[in-house]
Amino acid sequence: MNPLRDDTYRQITGLMHEVCGLSFADSKKPLVSSRLSPRIQRLGMGGFEDYLALITSGQDQGELQVAIDLLTTNETYFFREPAHFDLLQQELLATRPTSLSVWSAASSFGDEAYSVAMLLADLQLRTQGPAQWSVLGTDISDRVLRSAAQAIFPQERLRQVSDERLRRHCLRGEGESEGLVQIKESLRRRVHFGQVNLFHPIEGIGPFDVVFLRNVLIYFDPPTKTAVVDRVLKLLRPGGLFFIGTAEGRVPCETPLQVLGPGAFRKGAVS
């Protein structure tokens, strides 16, 4: 298969920006090529130009979704950036809310959403957390959402989960499933998943007490980052907690936020 041409790369990434706000620098051309090449070969196509014609034709929205899936899936694991979960627990122990609604706004395979659920279930078990709570995980990728709903993970992804938590919330695979774990049904029923494109107006969900929007802003250019963050923050209650990736820098938004720590904020007050 011929290499990805510069003009074809610009058209593919331009389409991604138009559809869902994704922004790719010129330096990301090898990444785009490596992620799309196997799919193009599997379809028996001649090259990137044929694939571009397919996803821009409007005749196969399913294949456009596949392309989005391939270009947005990133590494994730349970209790990533543990300081955020520590802060959330401290806040709940200090305020003792009776109910809590949490949104994992870029949930990928569900690691983050189920991590939050484990924390809340454990607090509830000790009668130190809200009696009523729910977790919603959303993503633009239909493929990762289907996987998240199944709640089956390589054990390596739960490397930061204690043995006690694993026993309480997970079933270990045996035989052909050795090395895999599944979240128990008692926890799965508290976590729901749905498809949301953060680039478009968000309707039918919220408001939330806590929002995680971590490690997704890196895909957007500065104007899109601001629009996405403000759009998400509209669904966060005043005084609610907001988390982004610790390496994502300053929050680009118009909504007033109080800084609580790296990547951690409270809505409604200027720091």
| 146 Cβ contact partners less than 8 Å away, ≥ 6 residues apart | none
Considering the candidates 69, 80, 111, 139, report the single residue annotated as catalytic: 139
The terminus-to-terminus CA distance of the chain in angstroms comes to 53
Q: Is 221 a catalytic residue?
A: no
DSSP label at residue 5: P
Q: Are 261 and 81 in contact (CB under 8 A)?
A: no
Q: Are 267 and 237 in contact (CB under 8 A)?
A: yes
Q: Are 51 and 43 in contact (CB under 8 A)?
A: yes
| 188 Cβ contact partners less than 8 Å away, ≥ 6 residues apart | 151
DSSP label at residue 214: -
Considering the candidates 35, 143, 157, 168, report the single residue annotated as catalytic: 35
* Host H or E run for residue 139: strand 132-139
Instruction: Quote the crossing angle between the two packed helices 61-72 and 142-150, to the nearest 10°.
Output: 70
How far, in Å, CA of 199 to CA of 68, rounded?
13
Q: Are 261 and 83 in contact (CB under 8 A)?
A: yes
φ/ψ of 100, rounded to 5, equals -155, 135
Q: Is 6 a catalytic residue?
A: no
How far, in Å, CA of 110 to CA of 147, rounded?
8
φ/ψ of 201, rounded to 5, equals -55, 140
As annotated, the active-site residues are 35, 139
